[in-house]
Structure 1
């Protein structure tokens, strides 16, 4: 039976249950592929959707979410931002991947000069040679940090850096509690104020307030924890519940410098790790940082005893020489920063 590939300018043109069924059945599917996350990105950002869907007998069997994003005066067709992506399939693996990769190449026209696959699962390496044959080149722009929750809290705590353990112990000297908030629009917008402050302090781009307004649609896939010391809120962490990968992902930070004296980062991570263990998650995800041991964010996360995992991005220029120009620009930028 022939496979048919369709381009969608919004995920709302797909059947929600059928779309999510592909995500749940595909080995590489994760929460960022889900219908609800894509809708939040579509409604809460100015990214232009350009999703691909492969159907068999009218039933979806593979998908490839993408968004057109600005890159200065030109544009790039990218996997999900924020988040990670790449093609996923539940059957006819080679044939569906060929269809998706050919179709995504045809979507790069006009000022869209690059296509990138921001992969999350290391098992995307199984597609390495196929991607190379299509003109993609791998690069490492960031890394992520994970803890194996199946080992239990005591084993994880014992392997943390002494500074992290000391921070947790000192935090326990205060009268504190960590509470889980209801994921209302008001709660998300309140969290945004602290998130924006943190992002500006560390020099990271901020997502728009409108994106956070859309997050309640993912209520059953989010957890918002607040640290309270002597009854006062002293920082928040927002988590994404990746049931597909059995991972509790630290998504966004709402801990400002004013909260450091209460050891908010250590206490919030401690609570979330224990919560994840109790809920049966296998992995705790501290999310990413630049792949540079000299970077403060890198060191902070590494000191939790986390495993460092490279995040591989597959890129293709359209036309091919465009990628070389992009890489030259990156090299110059890193030299200036250093």
Structure 2
């Protein structure tokens, strides 16, 4: 039976259960591929969706989420921002991939000059030669940090940098508790103010408040932990529960500088790591950073004893020479950085 590919102007045009079933049954699917995350991005950020779906006998067998995002004066087709994407398949892998990547070319028109696949799972490397044959070039623009939760808390704690261990111990000098908050619109909106303050401090782009209003769509895939010291809130961390990857992902930070004195980052990480172990997750992720040991965020996360894992991005210019122009711009930007 022939495969059929269709382009969706919103993931809402797909059947939610069928879409998520492809993500869950594929080898490379992650929480960012799921229907609920894509809807939150569509409704809360407003990126133009161009999702692709391959069906066989009317049943979805492969999905490929994409959004048009800004890149200076031009645009790129991203799979995906925010988050990670790439094509995922259940069956008919090679034929489905061929159809999906061919369909991407039809989307890249006008000012959409680039196409990128931001992949989370390192096993996407199995597509490396295939993607190169389609004109994609791999690059590493960031990395993530992971802890193996199957080793248990004591082993993980013993391998942390002495400064991290000292921070955790000093945090225990306070009377504190960590509260598991309900994933409600009210709590997500309340989290936003400190999140935006932190993002501004470290020079990261800030997602709009509207996006946080949409996050309760992912209620069963989110955790919001609040550190309370002497009954006062002293910082929050938000987490994604990536069941597909058996990973507890630190998603957003709501710990401001004035809360450092309570060792909020260390205590929240400690609580979340122990919670993840108790819940049977295999991996704890401290999220990403530039791949540069001189970067403060890189060093902070490395000091937790975490393994550094490169995040692959496959890029293609549309037309092909456009990618060379993008890479020249990146090189100039790095040289001008202080």
Q: Could you say which TM-score interval applies, normalised by the shorter chain?
A: over 0.9
Q: In structure 1, how many angstroms separate the alpha carbons of the residues matched to 2:165 and 2:82?
A: 31
Give 2:132's aligned residue: 132
Give yes or no for the alignment of 1:89 onto 2:89: yes
Give 2:268's aligned residue: 268
Q: SS at the partner of 1:145?
A: strand
Deviations along 1:42-85, one digit per CA (max 9) or x if unpaired, are: 00002100000000000000000000001111100001211000
Give 1:142's aligned residue: 142
Give 2:121's aligned residue: 121
Give yes or no for the alignment of 1:21 onto 2:6: no
Give 2:202's aligned residue: 202
Q: SS at the partner of 2:310?
A: strand
Q: In structure 1, how many angstroms separate the alpha carbons of the residues matched to 2:102 and 2:80?
A: 19
List structure 1 segments (4+ residues) > 3 angstroms apart after TM superposition: none
Give 1:226's aligned residue: 226
TM-score, normalised via structure 1 length: 1.00
Q: In structure 1, how many angstroms separate the alpha carbons of the residues matched to 2:201 and 2:287?
A: 18
Give 2:288's aligned residue: 288
Give 1:77's aligned residue: 77
Deviations along 1:187-220, one digit per CA (max 9) or x if unpaired, are: 0000000000000001111000000000011100
Q: SS at the partner of 1:104?
A: helix
Q: In structure 1, how many angstroms separate the alpha carbons of the residues matched to 2:226 and 2:50?
A: 36
Unmatched tracts of structure 2, length 5 or more = none
Q: SS at the partner of 2:108?
A: coil
Give 2:61's aligned residue: 61
Deviations along 1:260-318, one digit per CA (max 9) or x if unpaired, are: 00000000000000000000000001110000000000000000000000001000000
Q: In structure 2, how many angstroms separate the alpha carbons of the residues matched to 1:70 and 1:288?
A: 21
Quote the offset at 1:153 in angstroms: 0.2
Give 1:181's aligned residue: 181
Q: In structure 2, how many angstroms separate the alpha carbons of the residues matched to 1:80 and 1:184?
A: 25
Quote the offset at 1:148 in angstroms: 0.3
Deviations along 1:119-158, one digit per CA (max 9) or x if unpaired, are: 0000000000000000000110000000000000000000
Give 2:317's aligned residue: 317
Give 1:37's aligned residue: 37
Q: In structure 2, how many angstroms separate the alpha carbons of the residues matched to 1:57 and 1:39?
A: 26
Give yes or no for the alignment of 1:3 onto 2:6: no
Q: Give the aligned CA root-mean-square deviation in angstroms.
A: 0.5
